[in-house]
């Protein structure tokens, strides 16, 4: 008896080999039960593939229909390995291969097995099915089936987790984190992300929060996320989705508000595009707003010169103030945009436009 090879994108279970052996020898399931000392139900479970082959069952199969204990154990191991790769491949198929490859994070090959192995390595998984439980992402658990954009969100979150490993992060301190946010307000005045992002990461890191600014894949519509890494570290991931300073900084402060206000064992994934009815999101919005531009402030004039002056007095960038004024409906979204600062991606680095 020899092992059969596995067809591409298909895993042949040991039950197929058992049925072939029974057929060749003219044996029934009941004969298998009698020869192996198993119950009829246990023998039937082997033939239907409902049971995995354990060492004891391998001994029983070897005695009943031939070959060796090692053959049957190896047959089961090969099946589980193939099944794992097929499962990983199912997830890989959700990803836009060319775009993911262009980001340089995950190399998806024309060889589906190589891509499946790369997927498992990227997510640091032994079992592909564990993917759906990563990051405590509740929205991934609402359905048994992943969609393409959800898969890209997971890739984006994983990249944030990977980049966070290179950041120095101290123990979590809510007090130090609030102080860090007060200092972060002044960083909004810096024009170049290559200057303010490392400073922001250092501020947050000393308070126990890793910050990763990660370009999002095409199908990932997230602006930001607040979650726990698998190692327990608190992590904020920001995508700089609209490549403009007011949205970038509000996203940072919104995710920071989740860290201060809410259970960090839950993953908060935020599009920040349409108003949310979630109490938790409203609370995060309100705190972020209060930390950046207190809603109680009254502005006597909203000309370019006046807004720039108000922003200087508040110690924040003019564009950040403009964004809040537009959000509050104090000025139309078409006005004062010249005070905002725009960014672009240079590879994986955010730079001034």
Residue 267 in any domain: the answer is yes
Residue 154 in any domain: the answer is no
Are both 30 and 115 inside the same structural domain?
no
Are both 318 and 278 inside the same structural domain?
yes
Are both 70 and 96 inside the same structural domain?
no
Dihedral of CA 315/316/318/321: which sign?
negative
Give me the number of domains the chain comprises: 3
Are both 78 and 105 inside the same structural domain?
no
Are both 115 and 256 inside the same structural domain?
no
Are both 60 and 102 inside the same structural domain?
no
Are both 117 and 261 inside the same structural domain?
no
Residue 196 in any domain: the answer is yes
pLDDT tens profile 24-61: 999 999 999 999 999 999 999 999 999 999 999 999 99
Per-residue confidence in pLDDT tens, the chain, 353 aa? 444 444 457 788 999 999 999 999 999 999 999 999 999 999 999 999 999 999 999 999 999 999 999 999 999 999 999 999 999 998 888 888 888 888 889 888 888 899 999 999 999 999 988 887 776 443 443 334 445 477 888 889 999 999 999 898 999 999 999 999 999 999 999 999 999 999 999 999 999 999 999 998 877 888 999 998 888 889 999 999 999 999 999 999 999 999 999 976 777 888 876 666 688 889 999 999 999 988 777 777 788 999 999 999 999 999 999 999 998 888 888 999 999 999 999 988 999 99
Are both 177 and 301 inside the same structural domain?
yes
Give pLDDT, residue 143. 37
CATH number for the domain harbouring residue 72: 1.10.260.40
Residue 320 in any domain: the answer is yes
Structural domain including 253 reads 163-352
Give, rounded to a whole angstrom, the gap between the first and last alpha carbons of the chain: 67
Q: How far apart are CA 117 and CA 195, in angstroms?
A: 37
Domain-ending residue, one of 89, 107, 139 = 89
Domain-ending residue, one of 89, 107, 127 = 89
Q: How far apart are CA 244 and CA 247, in angstroms?
A: 6
């Amino acid at each position: 008896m020899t092992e059969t090879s596995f067809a591409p994108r298909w895993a042949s279970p040991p039950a197929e080999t058992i049925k072939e052996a029974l057929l060749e020898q003219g044996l029934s399931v009941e004969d298998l039960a009698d020869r192996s000392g198993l119950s009829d139900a246990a023998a039937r479970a082997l033939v239907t593939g409902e049971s995995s082959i354990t060492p004891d069952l391998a001994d029983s199969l070897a005695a009943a229909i031939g070959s060796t204990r090692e053959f049957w154990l190896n047959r089961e191991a090969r099946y589980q390995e193939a099944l794992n790769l097929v499962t990983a491949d199912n997830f890989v198929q959700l990803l836009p291969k060319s775009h993911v490859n262009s980001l340089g994070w995950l190399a998806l090959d024309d060889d589906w097995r190589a891509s499946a192995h790369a997927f498992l390595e990227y997510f640091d998984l032994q079992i592909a099915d564990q993917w759906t439980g990563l990051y405590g992402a509740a929205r991934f658990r609402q359905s048994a089936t992943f969609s393409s954009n959800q898969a890209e969100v997971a890739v984006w979150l994983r990249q944030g987790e990977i980049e966070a490993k290179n950041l120095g992060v101290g123990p979590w301190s809510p007090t130090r984190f609030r102080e860090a946010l007060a200092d972060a307000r002044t960083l909004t005045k810096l024009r170049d992300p290559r200057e303010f992002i490392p400073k922001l990461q250092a501020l947050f890191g000393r308070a126990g929060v890793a910050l990763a600014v990660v370009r999002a894949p095409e199908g990932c519509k997230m602006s930001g996320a607040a979650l726990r890494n698998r190692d327990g570290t608190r992590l904020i991931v920001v995508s700089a989705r609209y490549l403009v300073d007011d949205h970038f900084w509000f996203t940072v402060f919104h995710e920071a508000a989740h860290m201060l206000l809410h259970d960090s064992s839950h993953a908060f994934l935020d599009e920040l595009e349409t108003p949310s009815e979630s109490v938790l999101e409203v609370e995060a919005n309100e705190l972020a707003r209060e930390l950046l531009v207190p809603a109680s402030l009254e502005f006597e004039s909203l000309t370019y010169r006046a807004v720039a002056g108000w922003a200087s007095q508040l110690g924040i960038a003019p564009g950040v103030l403009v964004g809040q004024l537009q959000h509050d409906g104090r000025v139309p979204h078409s006005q004062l945009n010249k005070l905002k600062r725009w960014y672009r991606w240079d590879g994986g680095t955010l730079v001034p436009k």
